[in-house]
Amino acid sequence: MLELIFILPMLTGLVTLAVPPYLGRGVLLVTAILHFQLTIMAWLGKLPVYAERFFSETPEGMLVLLVTSFIFLCIACYSMRYMEETGLSNGTVFPGCMLLFLGTMSMVTLADHPIVLWIAIEATTLVSAPLIFLHHSKEALEATWKYVLICSVGIALALLGCFFITLSIDIAEIEISLSFTFLNQVATQLDPMWLKVGFIFVVIGFGTKMGLAPMHTWLPDAHSQAPCPASALLSGALLNCAFLGIYKVHTVMYLAGLGEFSGNILIGFGLLSMFVAGVFILRQPDYKRLLAYSSIENMGIIAFGVGIGGFALYGAILHMIHHSLIKSSLFLSAGNIHLGFDTKIINRIGGLIKYFPKTFLSFFAGFVGISGLPPFGIFISELFILIGAFQTGHPVSAILFMLSMLLVLAGAAQIFTNMSFGVREHEVLVRENVLRIVPPYILLLASITLCVWMPSAMYTAIMNTIKIIGGTIHG
């Protein structure tokens, strides 16, 4: 039963909230492993769908699910030690909410019904809010407040968007049950006007969650205040889930012949996000905010790639996978740094290479990866997106894309260089630890591996994903 994939973590999450704290971490790890196993089984096609009306196994969903599950496994390993060392191990809130978070995100990946998708995404907001508030500081409180309020507003708008899409079915007087599968089938008959309005609201709604500018405002606050494993999950998995929502509606739009409209909107949001991220990455004083803005940038790249379509679409999907891997690795490394130095201020940090050589390796490698350099996969995805942009005749957008990327690079390179290589005397509070070192390495290795060799099942999945809306593109 495919639904097990989200039911299992939800149940264990609820259980964890009730059991004594020392069991919680064990449950977290065991569930992570089981979840990964289930995901693999789903990929092997061993899990049939039970509630076909609401859930289905779509290639794009499965990709996101796989990434999410893999990242979660790494993060779970990481947080074994991390939570202990930050002194947050007493509560059951963290493991419980992490599991619920995983459950709701898995639900997003499997949802086929717009409203189910919407419910799942809304649920992610609610279960992840306690994670952001974990530190109980005033800043954490503020971040949580902004996160919940802005995301709720955004999500409410997404619901409105879903209603409008439903309305477009009604007005066209088609008798189908509401699901993306059926929507895709009848796309051409839908009322274009309401579909467009619906798309606008969905993009704004889920875009809020995904972190597209100008609705991104909660993201840097939340990511910087959440404990690092949670930030890693937020950035590496949650944003993808929100993207999935937009992507599915974009698919409907494309099939309805409105691909250009929705594509242009996505390109616009993508470029704006990249630019805004660039503005704040330059001279950013806080490294977790830096990573958060970098997520905004990368979401912008993904949106841009999807908007461009064709070649860039392949790049966008690849980018989503690699960004998740690398960014979560970066957040985990940032967690090590935060533990070691107890500060998030970039100017107070220098000489990672001296104090934390192993963390330096993963941190800087992550930077190399996120900057789009080989051997990490973002290199290929960005190449694809750029080539795609020219190929589909968007030279101006491509130039803006390049400029924004350069802006981000200029900011990020300076900060990463100074943090890693700068000279500064430090007192090391917490030493490096194998359990906190290996997960970021594994995540990076995964990205390298996928850059060198991609399993054909994954390739087929990506191709199946983009086939639907990349149809008119030829080499």
Partner 1 sequence: MKNINDMIMVVILLSVLLSLASSRLITLIKIMAVQGFLVSLLPLLLEHHSSMGSGGLIFFQVMILTKGILIPVLLYVALKRIAIQREIEPIIGYHASLFAGLIIILLSVFITDRLHLAVPSGQELILTTAITTMSAGFFLMMGRKKAITQVIGYLMLENGIFLIGTALIKHFHTVYMVEFGLLLDLLVGVMVMGIILHNINHAFDDIDTDLLNRLKD
Partner 2 sequence: MFWGIAPSVKARLNTAIVLEIGLPVLADNKKNDNQEPMNIFLLALAMILVGGALPLLTYRWFMLTKCLSVGVTTIGCITGFYSIFSANADPASLAWSWPWLHVFTLAFTFDSLSFFFLLPIFLICPLAAIYSCFYFERAENSLRTAISYFFTNILIVSMALVTAAANMPTFALVWEIMSISSYFLVMYDYEKTTTRAAGYLYFLFAQAGALLIFASFGVIFSHSGSFDFAQAATIPESVKLMVFLLAFLGFGSKAGIFPLHIWLPHAHPAAPSHISAIMSGVMIKMGIYGILRFYFVLGATDIRLGQTVLVFGIISGLLGVLYALGKHNIKRLLAYHSVENIGIILMGAGLGMIGVAQGDAVMAGFGFAGCLLHVLNHSIFKSLLFLGAGAVIRRTGTSHVDQLGGLMKRMPVTGKTFLVGSVSISGLPPFNGFVSEFLVYFAAFQGLQYSQSTLLLTMIAIISLAVIGGLASFCFTKVVGIVFLGEPRTENARRATEGGWAMTVPMVLLAGACLVIGIFPASFIKLAFAGLADITLLGQVNTVLVATIGAHLALGSRLFLAIIFFVVLCRKLLYRGKEITEGPTWGCGFTRPTARIQYTGTSYARSVVDFFRPFVLIRETEVRLQKIFPKRTAYTSRVDDIAEAAMIYGVAFPLLAVLRKLRWIQHGNVQLYIGYIIVAILVLLLVLFI
* Contact residues: partner 1, CB under 8 A: 113, 115-116, 118-119, 122-123, 126, 129, 133, 136, 138-139, 141-146, 148-149, 152-153, 155-156, 159-160, 163, 166-167, 169-171, 176-178, 191, 193-194, 220-221, 224-225, 280, 284, 289
171 contact choice in partner 1, partner 2, none (CB below 5 to 8 Å, kind-dependent): partner 1
- Tell me how far, at minimum, the Cβ of 169 lies from partner 2, in Å: 16
176 contact choice in partner 1, partner 2, none (CB below 5 to 8 Å, kind-dependent): partner 1
Nearer to partner 1, 251 or 284 (CB): 284
Distance CA 317, CA 450 (A): 13
111 contact choice in partner 2, partner 1, none (CB below 5 to 8 Å, kind-dependent): none
- Tell me how far, at minimum, the Cβ of 385 lies from partner 1, in Å: 27
Nearer to partner 2, 31 or 284 (CB): 284
Task: Return the DSSP state at 346.
Answer: G
Distance CA 282, CA 192 (A): 41
Nearer to partner 1, 281 or 462 (CB): 281
Distance CA 295, CA 220 (A): 9
Q: Find the distance separating the first CA and the last CA of the chain, reported in whole Å.
A: 40
93 contact choice in partner 2, partner 1, none (CB below 5 to 8 Å, kind-dependent): none
- Tell me how far, at minimum, the Cβ of 37 lies from partner 2, in Å: 18
- Tell me how far, at minimum, the Cβ of 136 lies from partner 1, in Å: 8
Please report, for residues 152, 182, 201, 248, 289, the alpha-carbon distance to residue 266 in angstroms, rounded to integers and kept in the order given: 21, 23, 13, 13, 24
Nearer to partner 1, 145 or 261 (CB): 145
224 contact choice in partner 1, partner 2, none (CB below 5 to 8 Å, kind-dependent): partner 1
Nearer to partner 2, 172 or 261 (CB): 261
**Contact at 8 Å (CB) between 27 and 79?**
no
- Tell me how far, at minimum, the Cβ of 55 lies from partner 1, in Å: 13
Nearer to partner 2, 48 or 257 (CB): 48
Looking at residue 88, its amino acid is L
Q: Which distant-in-sequence residues (6+ apart) come within 8 Å of 40 by Cβ?
A: none
113 contact choice in partner 1, partner 2, none (CB below 5 to 8 Å, kind-dependent): partner 1
155 contact choice in partner 2, partner 1, none (CB below 5 to 8 Å, kind-dependent): partner 1
**Contact at 8 Å (CB) between 118 and 254?**
no
H-helix or E-strand spanning residue 416: helix 395-421
Nearer to partner 2, 150 or 271 (CB): 150
454 contact choice in partner 1, partner 2, none (CB below 5 to 8 Å, kind-dependent): partner 2
- Tell me how far, at minimum, the Cβ of 138 lies from partner 1, in Å: 5
Nearer to partner 2, 62 or 349 (CB): 62
Distance CA 100, CA 441 (A): 26
Q: Which distant-in-sequence residues (6+ apart) come within 8 Å of 111 by Cβ?
A: 54, 55, 61, 117, 120
- Tell me how far, at minimum, the Cβ of 194 lies from partner 1, in Å: 6
Distance CA 320, CA 144 (A): 25
What is Dmax (Cα atoms) for the chain?
71
- SS3 per-residue string spanning 251-310: HHHHHHHHHHHHHHHHHHHHHHHHHHHHHHHCCCCEHHHHHHHHHHHHHHHHHHHHHHCC
- Tell me how far, at minimum, the Cβ of 179 lies from partner 1, in Å: 9
| DSSP helix/strand/coil, 215 | coil
- HSE-up of 332 (CA within 13 Å, CB side)? 39
Distance CA 369, CA 350 (A): 21
116 contact choice in partner 1, partner 2, none (CB below 5 to 8 Å, kind-dependent): partner 1
Nearer to partner 1, 212 or 325 (CB): 212
- Tell me how far, at minimum, the Cβ of 390 lies from partner 1, in Å: 33
391 contact choice in partner 1, partner 2, none (CB below 5 to 8 Å, kind-dependent): partner 2
Nearer to partner 2, 67 or 150 (CB): 150
Q: Which distant-in-sequence residues (6+ apart) come within 8 Å of 87 by Cβ?
A: none
- Tell me how far, at minimum, the Cβ of 18 lies from partner 2, in Å: 34
